[in-house]
Chain A
Amino acid sequence: MVNAKINGKDIQVPENTTILEAAKLNHIKIPHLCYLKGVNEIGACRVCVVEIEGQDRLVSSCNTVLQEGMSVLTNSPKARQARRVNVELILSQHNARCAECVRSGNCELQTTANDLGINSFPYHKDLPAFDWNKEFPLIRDAQKCIKCMRCVQVCDEIQAMHVWDVSRTGSRTTVDVTGGKDITEADCTVCGQCITHCPVGALTVRDDTQKVRDAFADKDKIMIASVAPAVRTSWGEQLGLTHDEASANRLATALRAAGFDYVFDTDFSADLTIMEEASEFVEKLKNAGKNKFPMFTSCCPGWVRFVKMVFPDLVPQLSSAKSPQQMFGAIIKTWYAQILGVEPEKIYHVSFMPCTAKKYECDVSCMDSSGARDVDVVLTVRELGRLIRSEGIDVTALE
């Protein structure tokens, strides 16, 4: 154990604990923006800087290990000033029009600036011009990027896809797609990990809620929703519901209230996928000599993209079965359209999914068993919440 002082208080923490983690263990909050434990401990934002008594220069608490006998001040005048000025400098290169940002209310920079009481900017605003393909499910806004490098590290160290890289030089240094490629040409599996770990709204999922609102406005459309199991269990959190309140029934009622004519659970087609894959596997086993094993499932479009890009030689081992989402789309636009006695084009099918890659999947050109798109739009859990809120539905009052 290491004995030290933080803000005059004697503390004891295990060896090799950083100052930031030691402070956290002792209920002392040190604001930070770039730090991501175990993934990004590079001391880039300099917001977590603290003073060590006897040292001339401040240190970043995220990657400095607390030493025996150290006396750390998280709120010395020097530390306080540096923290504030560094947040102001970050804001000078951040498009802080928070009202227009999906991360408002859930933004680490916004929270940090608010907590510090920053309400005026002393610096010139310096926002770069940029260009991005807004058709892709993953959207990057260079004017919001604070160059924390979390996306680069997550994609390098965890996903090993190296989609993001440091780009440009000197004070123009920023993050961009590796090799300056268009994102559609990068090896991006659309897994969404960079979005999840972006502290601000620089990386977001393409918002498709307006497409659904437009479909609601078309009185000829039959609106059908299919809800993935993960959505069913997690949808209530953002709307302030407890786990018990956020039932599947209440969700179905909310979707009906929003304007959906039919609401289904994707569970159904998950069973279809399993059966298809099982029979495919049995067929392959019959001709074991001609086939390579193991056979891989193809439910996750991120995984399928990963295999195609990184291990193309394994593609023949992927199951040829569609994913539950796409099977549901195919069933709805063929068999269910027959039951309803309508042309598939009249049906507008929205799939609620927990993953960005599903947005990519529904756009794949061959996903049109009926001749029309299997799935018209994929919305994520957050988009579901936004849709419900924008329609003015009070979910607490629903059954």
Chain B
Amino acid sequence: MSRLSIMNETKAQATADSLYKDLERRVTGAPPGLCPLDLASSFLKLCASQTCGKCVPCRVGLPQLTNLIEDLLDGKGDMKTVDLIEKTAETISSSADCAIGYEAANMVLKGLKGFRDDYVAHAKTGHCAAEGFHAVPCVSLCPAHVDIPGYIALVNAGRYADAVRLIRKDNPFPSVCAMVCEHPCENKCRRRMVDDALNIRGLKLYAIDHSGHVPVYRDGEKGAEATGKKVAVIGGGPAGVSAAYYLAQMGHSVEIFEQRKRLGGMLRYGIPSYRLPREVLDAEINTLLTAGDIKVHTEISIGGADYPLKKLNEEFDAVFIAIGAHTDKTLKIPGEDAEGVMSAVELLRRIGDYDYPDFSGKKVVVVGGGNVAMDCARSSLRLKADKVTLAYRRRKDDMTALAEEVEATEVEGCEILELAAPLKVEVGADGKAKALWVKQQMISNIKGGRPAPKDATADPIRLEADIIVVAIGQGIDSYNFEQAGIAVKWGCIQALDSEEIANMPGVFSGGDCVSGPATVIRAIAAGKVAAANIDEYLGYHHPIEMPTDVPEPVPHNRPACGRVKMRERPIDERIHDFNLVEKGMTEEEMLQESNRCLRCDYYGFGKFRGGREFRW
């Protein structure tokens, strides 16, 4: 026998490793709405298979925990079972010899806190609190519940205009979302169980690139008969315009009151045109405004002395407040008021109104790690800055920006300085910013699910800067509405899930001003919800119906296949202008990608229930 030997991977080990990868994808693509106890039990079984068998709490305790949870699942447990689960998990957590045991028990303890109601329901009634509905993953994760398998099938069939119409049933902004949606629909795409999520946004982009102009109504079609009811929409962003679009189709007269020069809200004043070209945005909004009786008033601010909310309430049958989140947040560090320091909102708003500042010859530092910070950094490059640095107090991995946005920011030439917290702005004798000093951070314990930074024992760093853009989040200008009697918490307007304002009949609110700064599609969904509930409030029930049929799937082989990635214009070309960076798929790519769709609207639970919402 040799004294030592080289380690070789066995076929069994290689297969097991690849099974772990399969499982990883499966866990990522887990359908929403499963029984959390069933999950806890199956996780425990995996954990128990990992035990080395030495120590008692892990070897014996984990299978016993599984038994107890299974008892609850079989309707054979009661609250004593829940107490015993808790006691056992606590003991394993505190006394197991290694992480295989104590981390498994911690998962159970986390569940006992996080979905205690489900434990109690199982103990008391024998089954789950909420059970049995298996929605189509992409549709259910889209806040607006767009019929995604439906429009993918239409794109696949070459029926692009119908695809646009089908999207508009739930989301009036197919063009905008084709370019900038954060696509939560892709998060739990069942295709992940096979290989990878579908490129849903890319397929939508194909639809809008090939549909030509799709009017709101086909020849001979029109909206519902005029109801004579008047609805005021405060704010012409995605939430407000979406609400107006559906309300107009329902026959109501809508007036949009917009504070700025043009409609679009953050779509115009927050998202730069290299991600969403202005002509695409303008064309989309102009189409939506033809849905019915919609009047637009710009450069008018509601809530102040000139036009108080009360007056609007009197003049209109219902009011929808969708003012978004457009105020800056400040760093509160010395020197912040120096010339050259600006907020992300200020910079992007100027660009939105076609006022492009010239950064040539200047060094720019952007502070922040969200999508807006990336937008500011990439815009600064296009404004001809000499050097753009992005300073963030955590690590790149911890950024809230989409990974692809961070990647694009870096490849376009911005330097990302991690673990750098702003300390002070160095101001020259002329009152202009000279540099941003940052404190070095080190990553530390996880707090609230995210690794938190703390001050490192290291000298501050000086980042030379003529321009400092602060992109650390936005607030909501809700003061006037609070004065008018609407409840406000941390700046956010307090509305019910129905978007009604409690104790103020006929007043609704939704979008960023309620949720805090969020995504375009959430704002659009808020507009849709507002339209439905305002229609009901006004005493009507105008359904918004499926505008088209959807091709039934034809059986075809679906071999594991990579996900088609979007192409982009070459870096050295695109960083000199504000034109669209992204390029759509080719027809060949579209066909391959759309054929990857597993048609969850039809196969699985979809054919039985919940595969399609024909009207809302």
> Given the complex of chains A and B, what is the CA–CA distance between A42 and B602 in angstroms?
9
Q: Is the Cβ of A56 less than 8 Å from the Cβ of B38?
A: no
> Given the complex of chains A and B, what is the CA–CA distance between A166 and B134 in angstroms?
11
Residues of A within 8 A of B131 (CB): 166-169
Residues of B within 8 A of A129 (CB): 74-75
Say yes or no: is A67 at the interface (Cβ < 8 Å to chain B): yes
**Which of B73, B127, B552, B609 contacts A180 (CB under 8 A)?**
B127
Q: Is the Cβ of A42 less than 8 Å from the Cβ of B132?
A: no
> Given the complex of chains A and B, what is the CA–CA distance between A148 and B127 in angstroms?
21
Residues of B within 8 A of A43 (CB): 603, 607
> Given the complex of chains A and B, what is the CA–CA distance between A44 and B603 in angstroms?
10
Q: Is the Cβ of A169 less than 8 Å from the Cβ of B132?
A: yes
Q: Is the Cβ of A168 less than 8 Å from the Cβ of B132?
A: yes
CB of A87, distance to nearest CB on chain B (Å): 21
> Given the complex of chains A and B, what is the CA–CA distance between A166 and B131 in angstroms?
8
Q: Is the Cβ of A44 less than 8 Å from the Cβ of B608?
A: yes
Instruction: List the A residue with the shortest CB-CB distance to B41.
Output: A170
CB of B134, distance to nearest CB on chain A (Å): 9
> Given the complex of chains A and B, what is the CA–CA distance between A56 and B559 in angstroms?
9
Residues of B within 8 A of A42 (CB): 607-608
Q: Which residues 578-616 of B have a CB within 8 angstroms of A?
A: 603, 607-609
Q: Which residues 33-80 of A have a CB within 8 angstroms of B?
A: 41-44, 52, 54-57, 59, 63-65, 67
Q: Is the Cβ of A149 less than 8 Å from the Cβ of B125?
A: no
Instruction: List the A residue with the shortest CB-CB distance to B76.
Output: A129
Residues of A within 8 A of B555 (CB): 52, 55, 57, 59, 64
> Given the complex of chains A and B, what is the CA–CA distance between A54 and B557 in angstroms?
8
Q: Is the Cβ of A169 less than 8 Å from the Cβ of B608?
A: no
Q: Is the Cβ of A180 less than 8 Å from the Cβ of B132?
A: no
CB of A238, distance to nearest CB on chain B (Å): 33
CB-CB under 8 A for A169 and B128, given A42-B607, A44-B608, A65-B552: yes
Q: Mark B95-126, 1 if CB is under 8 A from A, else 0.
A: 00000000000000000000000000000011
Residues of B within 8 A of A124 (CB): none
Residues of B within 8 A of A172 (CB): 38, 73-74
Q: Which residues 1-25 of A have a CB within 8 angstroms of B?
A: none
CB of A126, distance to nearest CB on chain B (Å): 11
**Which of A57, A63, A65, A165 contacts B607 (CB under 8 A)?**
A63
> Given the complex of chains A and B, what is the CA–CA distance between A44 and B605 in angstroms?
9
Q: Is the Cβ of A55 less than 8 Å from the Cβ of B556?
A: yes
Main secondary structure of the interface of B (DSSP, over half): loop
Residues of A within 8 A of B607 (CB): 41-43, 63
Q: Which residues 317-335 of A have a CB within 8 angstroms of B?
A: none
> Given the complex of chains A and B, what is the CA–CA distance between A64 and B552 in angstroms?
9
Q: Mark A144-172, 1 if CB is under 8 A from B, else 0.
A: 00000100000000000000011111101
Residues of B within 8 A of A52 (CB): 555
Residues of B within 8 A of A173 (CB): 132
Residues of B within 8 A of A41 (CB): 607
Q: Is the Cβ of B608 less than 8 Å from the Cβ of A170?
A: no
Q: Is the Cβ of B552 less than 8 Å from the Cβ of A165?
A: no
Residues of A within 8 A of B566 (CB): none
CB of A133, distance to nearest CB on chain B (Å): 16
Q: Is the Cβ of A170 less than 8 Å from the Cβ of B34?
A: yes
Residues of A within 8 A of B127 (CB): 167-169, 180
Say yes or no: is B554 at the interface (Cβ < 8 Å to chain A): yes
Q: Is the Cβ of A170 less than 8 Å from the Cβ of B125?
A: no
Say yes or no: is B35 at the interface (Cβ < 8 Å to chain A): yes
CB of A50, distance to nearest CB on chain B (Å): 10
Residues of A within 8 A of B559 (CB): 56
**Measuring CB to CB, which residues of chain B are less than 8 angstroms from any residue of chain A?**
34-35, 38, 73-75, 125-128, 131-132, 552, 554-557, 559, 603, 607-609
A-B contact pairs, 30 of them (CB 8 A): A41-B607, A42-B608, A43-B607, A44-B608, A52-B555, A55-B556, A55-B557, A56-B557, A57-B555, A59-B555, A65-B554, A67-B554, A129-B75, A165-B132, A166-B131, A167-B131, A167-B132, A168-B128, A168-B132, A169-B34, A169-B35, A169-B38, A169-B128, A169-B131, A169-B132, A170-B35, A172-B38, A172-B73, A173-B132, A180-B125
